[in-house]
Amino acid sequence: MAQTKKLLRSLAGETLPTPPVWMMRQAGRYLPEYRATRARAGDFLSLCYNSDLAAEVTLQPIRRYGFDAAILFADILLLPQALGADVWFVTGEGPRLSTITGAEGLTRLKGKDDIHDHLAPIYDTLRILTRELPSHTTLIGFAGAPWTVATYMIAGRGTPDQGPAHALKTADRTIFEALIDLLTEASIEYLSMQVMAGAEVIKLFDSWAGSLNGEDFAKYALAPAKRIISELKARHPGLPVIAFPRQAGEAYIGFAKETGADGLAIDAAVDPHWAARHLQPDGCVQGNLDPKHMVTGGPALVEETRAIVAALKTGPHIFNLGHGITPDADPDNVHRMLEAIRG
């Protein structure tokens, strides 16, 4: 079946006449069926840990749009919760966590091998999806990259500049690096179990990679990704991995080759012609329509979609957004995007 799934073919380096397509956060609040299912679950975390309902919301955009891939419905903060951090969500504001600001907070966390009982419902969701997805649809598992997850664990919430994580990195490099190391090793165990449960592709989301510069980018974005990808491929030969060091700028160049990633997701700020010249020679590029077009629609949506496809048509390409679709998106605009891609 792997040979017939378009997304796997692109990740293997094949240039297809029409690129496979899926969207980050494609199961989400812009869909009325998602909102209804989340209401049944009661709250966001309950939805993540209810395997039947999490599988249902993963399947909803596949039924509606026929995407070439489904991505597991979960959250990057389930891993720190499995490690022993307190995690909760504030309606309208987002996630909150207990903070790691020194040695005491770090010592309260569990080890990398003690996460699986907590995460068992996530693996069950994947098993359900392997049975329920259409035969041509690729199943993607994922985790947050260590730096991005660490920024939430250190600050206790999302921040505009990841300032608390940078401050801890400067003030106590030993504690900071111990947290990065723990998250790297725990991510390997978590993602390996996802593959064993049915994930065919793994995606590593480093949403805040762009706030790292120079040596820090190499040490805390590139090196952990390389370690995770190398170990996953050693355990699961042939496993494709997509890396997303968002807002990496020039540091996108060589990232896939250095880490061993088969695909490199790029954000909406990257010119697709630049990506074709500098990134596609190393493998598949994924991206990168600005999510705002899913809200505004109109001719600009169609024109920009076609321009991205044209710019990246001479190499392996997976069409996606440059970041996740937003709650205010119009579901009809997704149909317009797909028509522009597929004709």
Mind listing the pLDDT tens digit for each residue in 55-71? 999 999 999 999 999 99
Per-residue pLDDT of 304-314, as tens digits, reads: 999 999 999 99
| Positions marked catalytic | 25, 29, 38, 75, 152
- Nearest CA to 250 among 231, 235, 271, 226? 271
- pLDDT tens string 171-199: 999 999 999 999 999 999 999 999 999 99
pLDDT in tens, 138-174: 999 999 999 999 999 999 999 999 999 999 999 999 9
Q: Where are the domains of the chain?
A: 2-342
Q: How confident is the model at residue 209 (pLDDT cuts 50, 70, 90)?
A: very high
H helices of the chain, in order, are: 6-11, 32-41, 44-49, 51-65, 78-82, 103-107, 116-132, 146-155, 163-171, 173-197, 214-217, 223-235, 255-259, 272-278, 293-296, 298-311, 331-342
Distances (CA, A) of 89 to 78, 79, 151, 154, 325: 12, 15, 16, 16, 19
pTM of the complete model: 0.97
Indicate whether 290 pLDDT > 90: yes
What is the number of other CB atoms lying within 10 angstroms of the CB of residue 314? 10
Determine phi and psi for 298, rounding to 5 degrees: 75, -170
Q: What is the CATH number of domain 2-342?
A: 3.20.20.210
Task: Evaluate if residue 1 carries a pLDDT over 70.
Answer: no
**Contact between residue 324 and residue 28 where contact means Cβ atoms under 8 Å apart:** yes
